[in-house]
Structure 1
């Protein structure tokens, strides 16, 4: 429980400074789109925003799995608004996993694992005129996993596992400076060893940037 408390505290710190970037509105384009979606990568004059003004910083909860094994993680993110519809980014992941096992007498044992790594991702808004803020999402994640749970009485080694994830992300903007992103991704490289990172080939994620 101490690990979970620390993870949730870290998540709250990450999300307290969600994202920043100067996002300006083009009157013509706003008029065409119902005055609800300001430009993300250009000034009102049509010039590209400077690099630093396209950056967004944030993070969120990753690797959430309720069940056995249970897992929860945090993932700081730096995202770059490459164009009006495309977002590129990098992140760092940490996932805590707990496995519950019972012996023949019904005694419960908790085994734990701490996984860490990084990821690169890309998002592209699919059909903005029909469903605004819905993105196709692809990423490559590489995580160092323990080959055995701590507390199992066996030597613990680490192995790097690469996971290509594909799916969709819906981004709900908060004002002009940040957004809440809900992602549903599928692990194309899900194997038995991957259960030490995620309890399912489906990865559900909430992030803020």
Structure 2
């Protein structure tokens, strides 16, 4: 690359950065007019670039206190598909611990590291009545470790546990691309496989999350 080409590339990068900053700021200017920032367009009606519709964050998930005990972290990338719809993907890690009781009084402390991924969608239901309240649906797949007592010597194995979850998310915006989200979901698949579902979600089909994106 010669000197002229390098100079042109530098000008293009600087120009792109300036344009990016301008587009980022435009929706926020609506606050001065008493309006909410647009999520997918500038005030002039131009669509925001793909990169400016992305949200990055995550939160705490799969919280169960007591026996069993579980807690997880769940980073996410979300995309503002429209003014009311959000699509996203994420990865999950859950630490699980339970005290198991056997006949004769024997007990065992079971610990497991679980990991997986999920896809989700959120749609703002009634923005004219309750802003930032979304119906929320997702599919989650988690890899679970367990001890197979049908094999001698006992062997630790892993299997996938799938779940469909539906519920509501209330989002408190902090900026156009970031907010605090409180989510309550019901696991439609919990009773189909309660033993392994409890390894991931604790002792209840309800999943409560606090996330930031």
Q: Give the TM-score taking structure 2 as reference length.
A: 0.77
- State how 1:186-205 maps to structure 2 within 5 Å: 186-190=186-190, 191-192=193-194, 193-199=196-202, 200-205=204-209
Cα distance change, pair 148–198 in 1 and its aligned pair in 2 (3 A) = farther
Partner SS state of residue 156, structure 1: strand
Query: 1:167, 1:185 within 8 Å by CA — same for their partners in 2?
Result: yes
CA distance in 2, matches of 1:22, 1:136: 27
Query: 1:145, 1:196 within 8 Å by CA — same for their partners in 2?
Result: yes
Aligned to 1:208: 212
- State how 1:1-209 maps to structure 2 within 5 Å: 22=24, 24-25=27-28, 27=30, 35-101=34-100, 109-148=108-147, 154-190=154-190, 191-192=193-194, 193-199=196-202, 200-209=204-213
Please give the root-mean-square deviation of Cα atoms over the aligned residues, in Å: 2.4
CA distance in 1, matches of 2:108, 2:146: 18
CA distance in 2, matches of 1:158, 1:124: 34
Query: 1:25, 1:44 within 8 Å by CA — same for their partners in 2?
Result: no
Structure 1 residue runs of 4 or more that deviate by more than 2 Å after TM superposition: 101-110
Computing the radius of gyration from Cα coordinates, the structure with the larger value is: 2
Query: 2:54, 2:177 within 8 Å by CA — same for their partners in 1?
Result: no
CA distance in 2, matches of 1:93, 1:194: 15
* Structure 2: gaps (5+ residues): 1-22
Task: Point out the structure with the larger helix share.
Answer: 2
Instruction: Report the Cα offset of residue 61 of structure 1.
Output: 0.4
Q: Give the TM-score taking structure 1 as reference length.
A: 0.79
CA distance in 2, matches of 1:30, 1:108: 63
CA distance in 1, matches of 2:59, 2:138: 16
Query: 2:144, 2:160 within 8 Å by CA — same for their partners in 1?
Result: yes
Query: 1:80, 1:89 within 8 Å by CA — same for their partners in 2?
Result: yes
Cα distance change, pair 103–140 in 1 and its aligned pair in 2 (3 A) = closer
Q: Matched residue pairs, number? A: 182
Instruction: Report the Cα offset of residue 22 of structure 1.
Output: 3.5
